[in-house]
Amino acid sequence: MPSPMTAPALKEPQKISIRRIRRSQLPADTIQLSRFLIGKVVVHELPAGRVSGRIVETEAYPPGDPAGHHFRGPTPRIKSMYLAPGHVYVFFNYGAHFMLNVVSEPPETAAAILIRALEPLEGIEIMQRHRKSAELLDLTRGPGRLAQALQIDRRHDGVDLCENETLWLGEINRPVSPIGKSVRIGITRAAGKLLRFFERGNPYVSGPKRLLHPSSKPRKTRGRSAPSSKKSTR
C-alpha cells in the first residue's frame, strides 16, 4: 500500500481487506468523531464495481454551531441530521456539488461532520470515469469531487453507514499519521473555531496550503466562501 506522502500508482490492489465499523465504535461527540474518522474508509458498492477511499480530512459542525445548517432548527431538508450517529446527510452545494456528511450526535440532536477529502483506494479507474479526469490527486480532494467520484447524491441522504449494504463505513490496517487541525474552510460564522481535522503530509488533503502548516493561525474572513467547500451542515 502506498505511503501517505505519495500519490498511489494507477495499478491498485485487487482486494483490500476492509472491516465494517459498528455504531458502538463511534464516539458519541461530534468533535471526537471528526478526529476518529480520519483514516477510516468510505465504501460504495456500485454496479461497475467497488469504489472506496480513506478519509484524510473532515470538518465538525457540532450542536448549536452558527455555521451549521441546523442552527435555526429543524427543516424537512435536514431531517436526516436528527438520526442516529453514522447516518448520512447529503446536501447540494451552490447548485453544483453534492456533499457527504456523517451524522454525529444521538437521535434528535442535530450535528454532522463534512467529509472533505479521501485518499482513493479501490475502483480508481471507475472514479476517473465519473470525474472525467485521470488526475489522481484531484479525484477525491474536496467534498464535491469525492461525491462525484463515489457517485453519492441526494438519493443517499439518510443512509445508515453502519448497516447499509452498498454505502458503508469501514477501517483498514494502516496507521494514521499525526492529525492536524485548523479553522474550517469557506465559512463566515464561527470562522475562528479549529474544527477542521486532517492527516498531516497526505497529498489528498484539500484547502489552502497555509492551513496545513502546524503554526498556521486563524485568519479573519470577509464573507467569502469557496464554491467547492461551503459550510457543511446548513
46-73 per-position pLDDT tens digit: 999 999 999 999 999 999 887 777 867 7
Parse the chain into domains and list their residue ranges.
Answer: 19-203
Greater model confidence, 1 or 188: 188
pLDDT at 213: 55
Cα gap 45→31, rounded to integer Å: 28
pTM to 2 decimals?
0.84
Cα gap 122→14, rounded to integer Å: 8
Cα gap 34→228, rounded to integer Å: 20
Cβ–Cβ < 8 Å for 36, 171: no
Q: What is the enclosing helix (H) or strand (E) of 99?
A: strand 97-103
What's the start-to-end Cα distance of the chain, in Å?
Answer: 37
Q: Domain 19-203 belongs to what topology?
A: 3-methyladenine DNA Glycosylase; Chain A (3.10.300)
15-44 per-position pLDDT tens digit: 789 999 999 999 999 999 999 999 999 999
